[in-house]
A and B are shown apart, each in its own frame.
Chain A
Amino acid sequence: MGDHGGIEDCIRVSQSIVQWFRFASPQSFYPLAGRMVPWFWAAAAIFGIAGLWMSFFVAPTDAQQGEGYRIIFVHVPASWMSMFIYLVMAFWAGLGLALNTRVSSMMAQALAPTGALMAALSLWTGALWGKPMWGAWWVWDARLTSELILFFLYLGFMALQAAIDDPRRADKAGAILALVGVVNIPIIYFSVKWWNTLHQGSSVNLAKSSMATTMLWGMLLMALAFWMYSIAVALMRVRAIILERERHTEWVKHAVA
């Protein structure tokens, strides 16, 4: 009797795994992504409105930096997302390489432009913030420099994918590059950090003032809004990639018609 239970458990577990793997097929992931997109857009809008209200009207003016500090409500979430998206992208790319699941690789490809956008946004808002605060658009600070290198890594990934015509080869080559990048990111980060401290006494001193709770909440809400936005946009982009790559199949002809 006990054996029977064991076998049934096994069957149930494997059925639930099969249920999940069903979404590794572009045909079943396409409608699922389509159903999820509006929810993530809605979450992004709600968190975004709440976060903007928090950061513009509730959070107090900073004692040292005045109103100009409010750019961090965009800057910090963009920096967080640029780093996080690279990890997620490398995860999906690695999964696609290991399990040969096409949707994983498409997901990695769909995430790259959003990650690059976040890195660019982080650099740009950082420059806008740096000019009034430090008196310079750019300083060779460790964090700025590593963010710039992260931006280059995104560009390299996208350029490699764009240069290879065969999508399967592009996926695999991109996956190896993304994984090499993930191994290198900590090495690059620490080398830039040590380089910076060796070269000069840090010319930049962020005042380590304890942050007001409302400021922290504003930043967290904005980070959630950026997160939801990234998911929504990546899902929309992956839908477009699925349609483009599967254009020869019957189900796409039905879906588009």
Chain B
Amino acid sequence: MNPFLATVRRDVLLAMRRKSEVLTAVFFFVIVTSLFPLGIGPEPVLLKKIAPGILWVAALLATLLGLPRLFAADHGDGTLEQMVLSPSPLGLLVAGKILAHWLLCGLPLVLLAPVLGLQFDLDASALGVLTLALLLGTPLLSLIGAIGAALTLGVRGGGVLLALLVLPLYIPALIFGAGAVEAHIAGLDVGGHLSLLAAMLVLAAFFAPWATTAGLRIALE
């Protein structure tokens, strides 16, 4: 089997056998978005205005929650060292792990976002833009996050450190992702925002597995 697909399949299978970890991040996303109206008040106009930002920030944090586990288990039982030694290129295997992380952590957020958007009184077309923006943005979050996960692998206080390293790098995705929905609500064209998100995704898809691989090699030295 293709080593890339084999890695994806393995990681998804492992996660499916221990569903609670995946579900934790999803429930976190739901709870955080539901807290905001309770803190701010049930004013529909205000909620509609801040909905894109809230959903995106919550998606950012939910992605972050799953990142420390991306390499930790494989590092703990020595699988990661076997991957480094295997004849297939490490970058390919890492790309497979990142894709699996997105399927488990990012895709559920994309699918849930329209439902949560209803809580904030977003109309159907705005929900469509939100879903599309998250579909382009969440893989970007997984790709950038993987670099941070590799650099903080096995480091003291890795989880908090990971947030400190990765969150500033998430800012462009947040700006254009939430900006697309806001532009749509304001009646503007969203093509520019989505194109920029897609451009960043292409750039990250090319460079991030490479940087992650370098980070993993350093961690395993």
Contact = CB atoms under 8 A, between A and B. Distances in A.
Interface string B153-164: 001111001001
A188 B144 CA distance: 14
Interface string A172-199: 1100110111011001100110110010
B155 A184 contact: no
Nearest to A190: B172
Contacts of B158: 163
Interface in B140-179: 147, 151-152, 155-158, 161, 164-165, 167-169, 171-172, 175-176, 179
Nearest to A179: B211
Interface stretch (B30-38, B63-71, B121-129, B213-221): B213-221
B183 interface: yes
A152 B158 CA distance: 17
Contact of A176 (B155, B156, B215): B215
Contact of A188 (B155, B171, B196): B171
- Contact residue range for chain A? 20 to 34
Nearest to B172: A191
A187 B155 CA distance: 28
A156 B219 contact: no
A159 B179 CA distance: 31
Interface residues of B, number: 28
A176 B218 contact: yes
A198 B186 CA distance: 11
B175 A160 contact: no
B179 A160 contact: no
B200 interface: yes
A252 interface: no
B27 interface: no
A154 B119 CA distance: 38
B161 A163 contact: yes
A163 B168 CA distance: 19
A195 B155 CA distance: 35
A187 B165 contact: no
B171 A180 contact: no
A198 B164 contact: no
A223 interface: no
11 contacts: A149-B168, A149-B171, A156-B164, A159-B164, A160-B151, A163-B152, A163-B161, A177-B151, A192-B171, A194-B175, A195-B175
Interface of B: 147, 151-152, 155-158, 161, 164-165, 167-169, 171-172, 175-176, 179, 183, 196, 200, 207, 211, 214-215, 218-219, 221
